[in-house]
Structure 1
Amino acid sequence: MLRAAAFHWWESRAIFAWISQAFMLAFVVGWPVALLRVMLRMRKMRSEERRLHPELFRDPRDHVGSSAGEYRSRWTLLGVPLVHIRFSSPDEGDRPVFGWFAGGDRAHGLLFAWGGCAIAPFSIGAISVGIIAVGSLSVGIISLGTAGVGLVAVGCMAAGLRAYGWLSALGWATAQGSGFAIARIGAEGPLAFAQHANDPIARQLLADPHAEQTQMIIVIVITVLSLVPIAYYARAVRQRLGGRARSNQRGGG
């Protein structure tokens, strides 16, 4: 809509460009605040349900502090579990999961993390922070997401040293996008604002002969790292469901 308005009122396109940046700022600030508040509320609801309806939590697997709602691998490195995953609803006071590969509502990984709020060198989540970050809101050296913030940022909305965005790209050095592209030096796009906008110098600055190879490497690394915790997660869920089914059968008998 903003792009269409900028094309329709061409003389005022700069105003719409900055409105797009205001939208991005609102998302970058508002999304984590809203998500973290929801996650906090869910933990409070879980604890309240436990207090009001203790009969629903009689299974030892559902007791506070039970390890059944989490999976920690027996393998460790430097005293840290290789894999730590939480697949149950957390209670108030539960700490984020932590491991080399971590997954859960809040996951901190020394190598890889995925979940609601993921922090690790390689992270995937609704909010992700890391060297390579992928998510609804991603912050990293290389960030990919609905809103990406980093040295190299890619997304629907992107801001960084080099930014590539569908709706809006805001780059300190260069920006490229299908809508608004705003940068200090070079920008390329239908609505470009920079010292060099849609000219040969901008195209030269944005040219990357190794772009396809770099993208392929990033995709492969993220895919491989994602498969490890997902495989452990699936295994742990099968074990938990199998144990619960056997418990129910004994109770029914």
Structure 2
Amino acid sequence: MSIFRRKKSFTEMSDVNLVISSLGGDRDAFCQIVSRYQNLLCSLAYSSVGDVKYSEDIAQETFIEAWKSLDSLKEPAKLKSWLCGILRFKVSRYRRKENTQPIKNASEFEEHNVEENHFQPMDDLAIREQEQNLLWKTLDQMDDTYREPLILFYREQQSVERVAAELDLSLDTTKQRLSRGRKLLKRAMISFVEDTLSKSKPGVDFTASVLSAISLLSPPAKAALLGTSAAKGGSMFKISSILVVLASLSGVVSSYFGVKAALSQSRTTREKKQVILYVSAFFISVIVYVIANIVLKRFALLSADNIYLYSLASQLIVLAFILSNFYLFYRMFKQIILVRMQERILNPSAFHRQSDQKDSSLREYKSKIKLFGAPLFHFQFGNPEDNYKPAYAWVAGGSKAYGLLFAWGGLAVAPISVGIVSFGIVTVGSIGIGLIGIGTVGIGLVGMGASAIAYKAYGSFSALGWESALSNGFSIANDAAIGPIAHANLTNNKEAAEIINLAFVGQSHQWFLAFIAVIIIIPAVWHSYKVQQRMK
């Protein structure tokens, strides 16, 4: 699919959505911005410098500068005025540079491109240059107030409505300025001006030039500061989405140490194969989930007609991931107990160590100090077996762990809990369910993760919120949503940003995610070390 065929999918998108997509590194979205505003910027530049070639050079520099500093755009709804501001700065710099040149364009004639001379006779070049000079001498006598609308009028198919929209003027004001502008033109030059300006309009080659230039540059370096605009939602994900994913995928680090611990707990080849089987199943479910979300987002951006279908599919993928994780954990826990029971009968010699005896003190640690009847600490290090009882304490860790303060394990239930499946106030896991749920899927009053389902949902791939949703993919909510594919009463605007409370999220989000990463990794490393030490 060619660049320009792909670009058609962006033609119906708002400036806000185009900015958010561009912030994610989508050059096709930025090219739609170029196509949308190239005529305006080239016309304003020409109105200021009086040279078609230099005006297009300045406009191209403006778009390239915009690509490099797009993350500094605080309010994407004001994209047009922001671009015009960059343009006027570059025009001002051009004029200052021009004033230092004693003879303007003294060497231009000698520096014409050889290929251009090959296709265009010297006489034609000279005539064209004379025409441009004559055109500018006529236009230069006019004030910018009248010159800019007039230039745009003949470059925008002589549409008063389009001129008014481009310059943010009322229809009556535009008509008055055009009328005055025409009167200021000499009668003998009107037909010449109309013909010359219509031929000087930038075309597809201009867009291609900008695309070629930005293809060598990196996407905007970092997200804009969080504030009160929709672009700040897209910008925030340049940093916070990465941190959410890192916090969620710190579970990968946890899983690595969990696998080491599980292999240390295993005593037979069959048990080791079982560990590898279920770990592989969990990872495959994650890989399928990630690939499916990336593909759905891509299709949704390319096919506006089916965007609701793809949004529904994204939520079905999340649901399938949740159910598969519940099922895998349930099966894994049951199989571990069953296989250990069978292996004790079939391979009794594999369980001769003291740590393999069911009543061995090496299999767990429970503190003697209690608070309100519950031990301060209870950690389990051996495989669960028949008549298994979950770890229970203020701070608990095991295959199943119930903590009055903190719990870590396969299934963790506590005010602060970390596990494959976790329940509590602040929960972290593959599936985190709580007031603040964080994980590959975070579910709760506030949900954060690769996907989120919550009253206020913040997701990398998708966010399904009752009040609000913020995502770098699918954002679905009742009141407010921000994202490339957003569904809500308010989407990608200032009001939506205020409901989502981006400023507060920006101030607290990163520190919170750092804390999450710590409480995931430290228990996993400690538990793995202790298992190897006690059960080796």
Residue 437 of structure 2 is aligned to residue 147 of structure 1: no
Say if 1:224 and 1:203 are closer, same or farther in 2 by CA, change over 3 A. Answer: closer
CA distance in 2: counterparts of 1:167 and 1:183, whole angstroms: 15
CA distance in 2: counterparts of 1:234 and 1:28, whole angstroms: 26
Q: Give the corresponding residue for 2:351.
A: 57
Say if 1:226 and 1:153 are closer, same or farther in 2 by CA, change over 3 A. Answer: closer
CA distance in 2: counterparts of 1:205 and 1:155, whole angstroms: 19
CA distance in 1: counterparts of 2:335 and 2:460, whole angstroms: 33
CA distance in 1: counterparts of 2:512 and 2:311, whole angstroms: 30
Q: Give the corresponding residue for 1:193.
A: 487
Deviations 1:152-179 (A, max 9, x none): 0011111110001111100000001000
Q: Give the corresponding residue for 1:114.
A: 408
CA distance in 2: counterparts of 1:168 and 1:202, whole angstroms: 17
Residue 316 of structure 2 is aligned to residue 22 of structure 1: yes
Say if 1:91 and 1:210 are closer, same or farther in 2 by CA, change over 3 A. Answer: same
Say if 1:184 and 1:86 are closer, same or farther in 2 by CA, change over 3 A. Answer: same
Residue 475 of structure 2 is aligned to residue 184 of structure 1: no
Aligned length: 242
Q: How does 1:51-130 map to 2 (within 5 A)?
A: 51-130=345-424
AA matched with 1:43: I
Say if 1:191 and 1:148 are closer, same or farther in 2 by CA, change over 3 A. Answer: same
CA distance in 1: counterparts of 2:434 and 2:386, whole angstroms: 29
Alpha-carbon shift at residue 60 of structure 1 (Å)? 3.1
CA distance in 1: counterparts of 2:507 and 2:377, whole angstroms: 30
**SS class of match (1:34):** helix
Residue 475 of structure 2 is aligned to residue 164 of structure 1: no
Indicate the structure whose relative CO is greater, using CA pairs within 8 Å and at least 6 residues apart.
2
Aligned identity (percent) is 37
Deviations 1:21-80 (A, max 9, x none): 111111122211121111210111111111222222233331123232111122221221
Say if 1:232 and 1:176 are closer, same or farther in 2 by CA, change over 3 A. Answer: closer
Say if 1:89 and 1:17 are closer, same or farther in 2 by CA, change over 3 A. Answer: same
Aligned to 1:7, which of 283, 293, 301? Answer: 301
Alpha-carbon shift at residue 220 of structure 1 (Å)? 6.8
Alpha-carbon shift at residue 229 of structure 1 (Å)? 5.5
Q: Give the corresponding residue for 1:215.
A: 509
User: Which structure 2 segments of 5+ residues have no match?
Assistant: 1-294
* Preserved CA contact (<8 Å) 1:168 1:181: yes
Structure with bigger gyration radius: 2
Q: Give the corresponding residue for 1:37.
A: 331
**SS class of match (1:61):** helix
RMSD over aligned CA atoms reads: 2.3
**SS class of match (2:503):** coil
**Higher helix content, 1 or 2:** 2
Say if 1:15 and 1:232 are closer, same or farther in 2 by CA, change over 3 A. Answer: closer
Q: Give the corresponding residue for 2:291.
A: none
**Higher strand content, 1 or 2:** 1
* Preserved CA contact (<8 Å) 1:112 1:225: no
* Preserved CA contact (<8 Å) 2:363 2:381: yes
Say if 1:73 and 1:221 are closer, same or farther in 2 by CA, change over 3 A. Answer: farther
Q: Give the corresponding residue for 1:247.
A: none
**TM-score normalised according to structure 2 size:** 0.42
* Preserved CA contact (<8 Å) 2:375 2:393: yes
Residue 498 of structure 2 is aligned to residue 204 of structure 1: yes
CA distance in 2: counterparts of 1:33 and 1:227, whole angstroms: 24
AA matched with 1:147: V
AA matched with 1:53: N
